[in-house]
Chains A and B, each alone.
Chain A
Amino acid sequence: MKETNQEPIIHIKDLYKSFGDLDVLRGASLDVFRGENVVVLGRSGTGKSVLIKILVGLLTQDRGTAQVLGKEVATLTEKELRDLRLKIGFSFQNSALYDSMTVRENLEFPLVRNIANLTRGQIDKEVETVLDAVGLLQTINQVPSELSGGQRKRIGIARTLILRPEIMLYDEPTAGLDPITCLEINELINEVKEKYKTTSIIITHDLTCAKVTGDRIAMLLDGSFVRQGSFEEVFDTSEERIKSFFDYNFIQ
């Protein structure tokens, strides 16, 4: 864990969220400090994605605190939320690329809509820079349906990087990918951290991804964080729920 005298840039405290009768988050608390990659690990349906959607204002908590860069997300005005979102990159589980646009247009879209008066040359340079960073410059004129799952993930990450975010939120970055592509995505997450100096929350149930990308692991079970620390610290426990999660994934 980072030094506690440093202010967290993401502060989650006693967060509750329900959908009808289903209690998804039940008092989740987590602090994320600048420059670290925190992996939120847990089984499907434990509220991992809900947690990061609350952080970007796509969902609102029932109660509790969710602060990003010192601002309580749920209370922000439309303009404040827009300004905050410019500082957060969100990589979706299914990439969420705009399927009617080419890769170039996908990347240009957030850029030209958020930064005024860019010249054609500046736009092209930015697009090529982030595409190069994810190693997919050759796909610039392709449409998403022509890309593989791994390429789509990379383009999704490139689209978030184009706005130079301070914080990256990855929702299941390796879900549905083959082991080799998973490793490439894990490497990319680490490269993004180094190159763009981002702070990240990585949502996953993939232990390899957690071990490779996480500076710190936070184990989310039944809607709350039950254990935090290094990969070894988290799994060096006799608690049955954590052991069974580890054993299940190990067998997988």
Chain B
Amino acid sequence: MGKFFREAFKGRMEVQEIIKQCYAIGNKSLVLISLTGFITGMVFTKQSRPSLAEFGATSWLPSLVSIAVIRALAALVTALISAGKVGSSIGAELGSMRVTEQIDAMEVSAINPFKYLVVTRVVAATITIPVLMSYCGMVGLMGAYLNVALNEGTSLQTFIQKAFEQITFLDIGTSLVKGIAYGFTIGIVGCYQGYNAKKGTEGVGRAANSSVVISMFLIFIEEVIIVQISNYFRV
């Protein structure tokens, strides 16, 4: 991690490569996040309705769903999907480059492979995953709206109004911090595992696999810590 920060702020940024990686990360996850986000919002709304209906409080559905989606679901769904799609892909790609000596080839050509391969991917994941997370939240709320509109006949304007009634800047800020933390984690874990892969093709598989497992584990730990900190600031 120390090396990452040393290299990130040394010399010129590989802006073109970062843009390319941002596009690759977004492109890899967009379809899956759209589908998963939409279904999560819709199913969560559907499952929550009976409990609220018992108290005659189905009008609270938009608020309940938006709190769940914005505070927790969007970030977690995006992070877990990205850990699987992006983390494994980074781990496998760099692992393959390591065992086929492509990284060594960069080094002997006087190119800094750490800056070109690792810094760019970590920065791209840290930028792109919060964006994907915001998108996932939006799609999740659309799924919830579809369900609410079909069952309660609520208009879009009323849904949006009620959905954001209970949402504070702290919720949005916390969510953003989560996205940045998860993006950084997925990027750095994938790169670390891939960059240090050993033992041929077996090592590539292990790098891809451990990128996913370690990222997911760290994401859940970060989730607990960030929620605890944000609750401390909540009145």
Contacts and interface: CB of A to CB of B under 8 A. Distances in A.
Nearest to A162: B109
B108 A56 contact: yes
B166 interface: no
Interface string A28-42: 000000000000000
A114 B108 CA distance: 12
B110 A90 contact: no
A96 B104 contact: yes
Q: From DSSP, what is the main secondary structure of chain B's interface residues?
A: helix
B210 to A, nearest CB: 22
Interface string A80-117: 00110110101011101111000000000110011000
A96 B100 contact: yes
Nearest to A106: B105
B101 A159 contact: no
Interface residues of A, number: 24
B106 to A, nearest CB: 8
Contacts of B218: none
A129 to B, nearest CB: 17
B105 A82 contact: no
Given A96-B100, A96-B102, A90 B108 contact: yes
Interface in A148-173: 159-160, 163
A163 B110 CA distance: 10
A242 B101 CA distance: 31
Given A94-B100, A96-B100, A58 B105 contact: no
A67 B93 CA distance: 34
Contact of A86 (B97, B100, B107, B110): B110
26 contacts: A53-B104, A56-B107, A58-B107, A83-B110, A85-B107, A85-B109, A85-B110, A90-B105, A92-B101, A92-B105, A93-B101, A94-B100, A96-B100, A96-B102, A99-B102, A109-B109, A110-B109, A110-B110, A110-B111, A113-B109, A113-B110, A113-B111, A114-B110, A159-B105, A159-B109, A163-B110
Interface of B: 97, 100-102, 104-105, 107-111
Interface of A: 53, 56-58, 82-83, 85-86, 88, 90, 92-94, 96-99, 109-110, 113-114, 159-160, 163
